[in-house]
Amino acid sequence: MNEVRVRFAPSPTGNLHLGSARTALFNWLFARHVGGKMILRIEDTDPERSLPEYEKAIMEDLLWLGLDWDEGPDKEGPYSPYRQSQRRHIYLQHARKLVEKGMAYFCYCDPQELEEKKKKALAEGKMPLYDGKCRNLTGKERQKLENAGKKPALRFRVPPGAIEFHDLLHGKVIFSSQVIGDFIILRSDGSAGFNFSVVVDDATMGITHVIRGEDHLTNTARHVLLFQALEYPLPVFAHHSLLLGTDGTKMSKRHGATSVREYRESGYLPEALTNYLALLSWSPPNQGEEVLSREELVEQFELASLSRSSSIFDIGKLNWLNGQHIRRMDFTRLVEMARPFASHLSSHPLFDEMIMSIRDNLDKLGEIPHYLEVYTAPPEITPYVKEAFTFKEAKEVVIATISSLERKSLESVEEAKVLLQEISEEFKEKGLKPREIFRPLRLILTGKPSGPPLPYIVHILGKEESIRRLRQGLSQV
């Protein structure tokens, strides 16, 4: 096999969508698995909607996910430029070839008239295809239209018959040319249409594999015709399943957050998001092994093993995976990633210990402020006093803890563990279970029935604050 070259070609008309990120991931994993090249190409031929800030945001989010590229707008390569807006001269050259071969013709139809015909066809339950009005215009007829100020678009002359191609995931795919219709390859302003620019770019950039969503299958029929007309070899096509919401429809805002940026800002880890997106259409060789690093994904990924089954986005599964990655990640990196989510505490001398204490509770970094409330917000004692003192020995436990805190050092979590262990041993001899011993302490110190381990709470609050809270609880008995 020649060097594998794949591409991801986003339109800078919005932030990077989860579905698009999944496509980028499959391209990147395949390229890295076989030692090929990943190309980033910007499809910015829509001047009204394409914005530089979206291009920048997309590139930032791809890099945040760890999906780097070998050639692109910021990395010059042998097939530059990598923005479609800068490749107009290449499209015009290829369009001229099709005109010379009689495989494209000029269309003078009014866009508004075409839109009305399209709406009428849809209303009648018909497929909206171009009716071929300009397909066989004579030279005189064309000249008359141009003299009247009509600026033509350029349409591809779709030949009759079946259009066949092989898809790595779908097998043999057949379309009838009757469902395609002559399509525009150059607009009246000279800019290239989507189908034409994609094919010319893929062909001239040496793309060997086109990996994209199955919603492009119909477009691929058009692309096959263009590849053949321009006498370029077909790439390998692989159309993966779409990303669906829980109701089985295409993922959209009504299903919740849809952009990578939203998940990034909510505190999801890039390795967790790529891990989850990969699992939506692919299963690792070792069944049941789901928590995978980016390196493990690259090593195990096989393009041909992508499933054709619909992929349902499950936020619960993503949360679980993210939590697993949080607990596996390097702790120093976790602390640094946590700081923006708790800027009000990030300079605290015990910030590292705070994060360590809540690490096992986190599903995402955005939950950090909630779990750190035990250290910042004094508890409303009254609602928990009744629950804390449900058995007669609870008061004795609290008094004994205050006494120990007054007498002993509390410079580390380990010292706090020793102190609480001594309390536990003392009251176990009186028939109390660990839960009965520690629950009233937790309720009074934090006002919550669950949270960070008690030794961390006592150490981070410190002797004075811990004693103050415990005494306040006793005063309300």
Among residues 245, 249, 403, 271, the alpha carbon closest in space to that of 334 is found at 271
How do strand 153-156 and strand 104-107 relate by DSSP bridges? antiparallel
How many other C-beta atoms can be found within 10 angstroms of the C-beta atom of residue 35?
A: 8
Q: Say whether 297 sits in a helix, a strand or coil.
A: helix
Whole-angstrom distance, CA of residue 348 vs CA of residue 467: 21
User: Which residue out of 140, 172, 253, 392 is catalytically annotated?
Assistant: 253
Give me the amino acid identity at 452: P
H helix intervals, 246-366: 260-266, 270-279, 294-300, 315-328, 331-338, 351-358
**For the purposes of burial, counting CB atoms within 10 Å of the CB of 166, is it exposed (0-12), middle (13-18) or buried (19 or more)?**
exposed
H helix intervals, 13-68: 18-34, 52-65
Encoded tokens for 60 = 């930032």
Whole-angstrom distance, CA of residue 89 vs CA of residue 87: 6
Residue whose structure tokens are 């090593």: 299
Encoded tokens for 37 = 């090249």
Among residues 249, 255, 315, the alpha carbon closest in space to that of 280 is found at 315
Q: Is 75 a catalytic residue?
A: no
Phi (first) and psi of residue 240, to 5 degrees: -85, 165
Catalytic site positions: 253
